[in-house]
Structure 1
């Protein structure tokens, strides 16, 4: 029966992460730890930066935005994944699937844009230190952050809107543990040409263009650092960028595998593992990466724990 959103499918069925019943208990415990770790780590980042005046700088302002994105991303995917490991069936309503698609797509776009903005912040800090306060003033930071959220919302609204125009006549078995654009397009019985064109344009902008901008920023940073004569000065400059560069490498490798090079992810099991990396592992590791080698964040964490006590 057709409805106002042009679909005959009222619910989809998500695959479990593993069909092996013997491994479900292990995966349930592992993914629960990942989820709790991601929530706790990113919540601590937000609290530490908010309560510690010494961290009220542009770099940590964008890190707070990144932590919020990670909390939303992992909360969009992992609760449903955990439920599917406990409850047999994995059914998700059409509206629930579109909602998950909306927030997941928004988080992916926002994270890619934030990583680019953070690379620009590091470029200004290392290459234009005398003009840093002017180029990264609070109005500029607010404009950059607002642009990130606005562009990501517009992007996900476009993708979700185009998806709701498609007809799903059956089957309704999604070959994944979450609702995302590529897997849903495989189930549509309507032409998906427009969707595919928009996906390519989004991939080029969010994936390729932003990646090139990050690489250009780091190219300038490396050139500037090499001109520093003292070894201590070089080490200090590189240390301010190492955490961000590690996060960029981890995140882009998984996103490129899934969206930019979909042919390489022909194995559904490999695709599930990679999706888990950017929806669960990366959000859990980001707070660790940014805090382990950062003395200011460690001090802020201690202050948070002392306040809790």
Structure 2
């Protein structure tokens, strides 16, 4: 009868050394792992994790960062070259709290898409969709910038909220100072605590506010003379059954304070104020003109 080969401890040790001394294999594994981590988005859904899973995630992240750091230290490139330290991508289906690789804390609203890259000279984030509250870790050697498409926000260390809607970006400053530029750099303003900037069509309008916390974190949506399309767009962040406009005048304006936990109630009120009717279906809620 054939006896299966079972390597002893010494054989296992020799095999392990041979594998980890294979430079080509190590480089291939590191390259593949790093590329996968850089390219794959992280879907954020709040849930409880076991201590083992949390520890395992932390260890995996530490190993990746350590490898990148070693690459940077041994890189023979010129001192002026910037080396990628970390790249992260988050998509929040529910309100979630995250910490970026530089230590910046971010509260993501529902349906928010955020990317973050940092190197030894800069920290750059892209808010392509949704709303987020940033508490930026101060680093005077590396400014922190956020791009929303129609606006660029630059800070060193501060706390502020950014809301990107269909045609507008709104920035509320809760602490520190923030510089805001239009997409074409035609206009720039500096905001301090209690100031709000609305950026659209390469223009910036500055007003003031008194809140000490973003309204969305308190369960409210404040709308101030926005188009009905924008109002529906923002309300749809908070529901699995989307609101739909059918043959509604796009020039209608909406103002008011609405509970995000009652999207249908908010839609009903908007319909009443604008002489619209509302019909609920299995997959949507439709607002249309009264015939």
TM more than 0.5 = no
TM range (shorter): under 0.3
RCO comparison, higher one (Cα < 8 Å, 6+): 1
Q: Specify the structure having the higher radius of gyration (Cα).
A: 2
TM-score normalised to structure 2 length:
0.22
Q: Select the structure that is richer in strand.
A: 2
